[in-house]
Structure 1
């Protein structure tokens, strides 16, 4: 089992945490996800042979930007995705409200 820690931009509330957990949990090989809203991080445990690319792509589909904070698989920074644009589409408030 491997562990990756992701830095995630754009999480603003509990519903964002739920969306992030669901997106990461749906990636093949993921066994466990912990999300820290206050620090904008997620810890992912599992058979992560994809080296983070699928995790970051799953978050990008939800409009979150993610980078690898720690990567015991490849130790290379990876970036993808756009800023969490839903914040502005709902009148500047939370993306979920």
Structure 2
């Protein structure tokens, strides 16, 4: 299992969190998504390491941007 935590900009409410969660949950291997609107932190648990391109595309599809992509946990 792999956990990736990053920061998403522009989220302001529960609807924002749901949109991000829905898009990320559609990525192959994703088993859990946790979103904190207050901090902008998103943690994704997946069966394998997720590519930055795939995560970026999902976040963009939800209408937001990744503002910080730290090294893998």
Using the size of structure 2 for normalisation, the TM-score is 0.86
Larger-Rg structure:
1
What do you get for the CA RMSD once the two structures are aligned? 1.4
Higher relative contact order (CA 8 A, sep 6+): 2
Q: In structure 1, what is the Cα distance between the partners aligned to 2:71 and 2:32?
A: 16
**Structure 2 unaligned runs (5+)?**
none
- Structure 1: which 4+ aligned runs deviate by more than 4 Å? none
**Count of residues in correspondence between the two structures:** 72
Using the size of structure 1 for normalisation, the TM-score is 0.67
**Structure 1 unaligned runs (5+)?**
73-97
Q: In structure 2, what is the Cα distance between the partners aligned to 1:52 and 1:45?
A: 14
